[in-house]
Structure 1
Amino acid sequence: MPTIAILAQGAMGAGIGRRLAQRGCTVLTSLAGRSEASARRAAEAGMRDATPAELAGADIFLSVLPPAEAQATAEWLAPALAAAPRKAVYADCNAISPRTALLVAGIIAPTGAGFVDGGIIGGPPREDGYTPVLYVSGEEAGRLMPLNDHGLEVRLTPGGVGAASALKMSYAGITKGLVALASAMILAAGRNGAAEGLRAELERSQPQLLAWFGRMVPPMYDKAYRWVGEMEEIADFTGPEAAAIYQAIAGFYATMATDNAGPKEATAALSAFLRKG
């Protein structure tokens, strides 16, 4: 059974850790500087606190963090990876642009550890058997395929480092971009007295879209703060053709995160719109 190191212990990291631990893997993490909530999630998932040296000695290291932490985490672990007598494979599974993935790969390369570019599509693993897909690319990507035998779904993406990140950026740019556009228009319609009419027209001409909004918009409220950095990475990914669009969407999600942490006026308006009918 392989030993897997995972940083950190958010919903996705803990979910992956729980699935691997349930399938018999040893799952390590680091609780240094983490909150009590993170420590609780780690314990409930069967993840064991470990030193950097112990993390670097794992068979596979999975970086599952907010995008802004990807480079700093690689830099933090690099000395331990360099000192490890047996070289792990370091998989960056964060929602980062291909350019950022190459920067992280450059941090890992001098350590001698293998590097895999990864992108997760879907929500955290659930007890009902649901599993997200981890897309991987790069010369070392095959080293993650044994995780398919331990409850995860790993798929190879053709191409080198950056290909899996590009797939993740493209998919998230569509889905999370559409969530932002729908939310912004629903809120604007409500402020201008057109909510009822918009709802009726969506029911008439776009019932599938309306149903999709009902599934996808409410879960956004608690995730909006994390999606800010992801939209900024997508802006970097798209380049000048659409960077301004995704920078604006990042700003929208920052506003939604503030509302969700405070008055919850916007989230209440969205939920009320989506519950009607």
Structure 2
Amino acid sequence: MSPIVAVIAPGMMGSAVAKRLTSCGAEVRTMLSGRSAATIARARSAGMVDATSAQIADADFILSIVPPGQAVALAESLAPALRSATRKPIYVDCNAINPATVRTIDSIVRETGAIFVDGGIIGPPPEPDSTKTRIYLSGPDALKVTVLEQYGLSMPVQAGPIGAASAMKMSYAGITKGFTALGATMMLAATRAGTADALVAEMKVSQPALLKWLTTQMPKMPSKAYRWVAEMEEIAGFVGADQTGAGFYESAARLFDRVAEDFGGQNTKTAALDAFCEKAK
């Protein structure tokens, strides 16, 4: 019998994960109350069906895929339904949160009698027949979730306890998104100083691979920046407040917050980043 999977929420990543599952025969439920028309259309296109909290709790698996700042609140909101469910699901937190936050959610979920598995997504929203996106799993019940590999997902098990998969995600995102923050900071600084042309010319000679990576990734960043604010804060917590480097990620959070505000407003920072990337072509 095909599994019933609840995926919350039907954003770009959640709906793409859901589409992989439904295309391979799984039933996917979600919650659409209060969602925009665009989100509802995206969910329906992915084959997701609207469900109540009770119907979500009655699924075999719940995949939490929300912005990092909403992860704890989602677990708390579903706790009453999970507590009332006669057949307990496996709750997989797939969000970009640090291990300490994961353990908080673990406590919330396990108090209801449901099973908790730590997860961390690395890669873009999955496309058909693509293996570029992996959902790392950890914890004593992680192997139980790998049955979903039969339904289109790539789910390697990370050795270690609850928190190990999220540590993997934090480490990876700390490098890739942290590097994006560093690149954006210097692109903007060079633009303000009037040296953007010279910087691009030098990097074409001495750092062509680095320049290509930055100018490929940077145009994708502004529309996602609002989601990366809480993620940088989670990475700062993962590094540790008393450890060198935590301040860098706190600054990265402030940068992404300003880029997000600019993207929805004056568009000056976004335009400057786009112009820098155009120079590199």
* In 2: Cα distance, 1:127 partner to 1:23 partner: 10
Contact 1:59 1:89 (C-alpha < 8 Å) held by counterparts: yes
SS of 2:32's equivalent in the other structure is coil
Contact 1:131 1:152 (C-alpha < 8 Å) held by counterparts: no
1:265 aligns with 2:268: yes
Task: State the shift of 1:130 in Å.
Answer: 5.1
Q: Which amino acid aligns with 1:96?
A: I
* In 2: Cα distance, 1:216 partner to 1:169 partner: 18
Q: Which amino acid aligns with 1:270?
A: L
Segments of 5+ residues of structure 2 without an aligned counterpart are none
SS of 1:6's equivalent in the other structure is strand
Q: Which amino acid aligns with 2:127?
A: R
* In 2: Cα distance, 1:153 partner to 1:109 partner: 25
SS of 1:135's equivalent in the other structure is strand
For residues 58-73 of structure 1, what are the structure 2 equivalents within 5 Å? 58-73=59-74
SS of 2:223's equivalent in the other structure is coil
Q: Which amino acid aligns with 2:50?
A: D
The TM-score, its normalising length taken from structure 1, stands at 0.98
Query: Where does residue 34 of structure 1 map in the other structure?
Result: 35
Contact 2:131 2:154 (C-alpha < 8 Å) held by counterparts: no
Instruction: Report percent identity of matched pairs.
Output: 49
Task: State the shift of 1:269 in Å.
Answer: 1.4
Q: Over residues 243-271 of structure 1, what are the superposed CA-to-partner deviations in whole Å (9 max), with x where a residue is unaligned? A: 21111100000010011111211111111
Segments of 5+ residues of structure 1 without an aligned counterpart are none
The TM-score, its normalising length taken from structure 2, stands at 0.96
Q: Over residues 203-256 of structure 1, what are the superposed CA-to-partner deviations in whole Å (9 max), with x where a residue is unaligned? A: 111110001012211111110000001001011110122221111100000010
For residues 104-183 of structure 1, what are the structure 2 equivalents within 5 Å? 104-127=105-128, 129=130, 131-183=132-184
SS of 1:155's equivalent in the other structure is coil
* In 2: Cα distance, 1:128 partner to 1:56 partner: 29
SS of 2:155's equivalent in the other structure is strand
Q: Which amino acid aligns with 1:155?
A: P
* In 2: Cα distance, 1:127 partner to 1:135 partner: 19
Contact 2:32 2:50 (C-alpha < 8 Å) held by counterparts: yes
1:253 aligns with 2:256: yes
Task: State the shift of 1:32 in Å.
Answer: 2.1
Aligned residues: 277
* In 2: Cα distance, 1:129 partner to 1:155 partner: 15
Greater Cα shift, 35-44 or 98-107? 35-44
Query: Where does residue 186 of structure 1 map in the other structure?
Result: 187
RMSD over aligned Cα, in angstroms?
Answer: 1.1
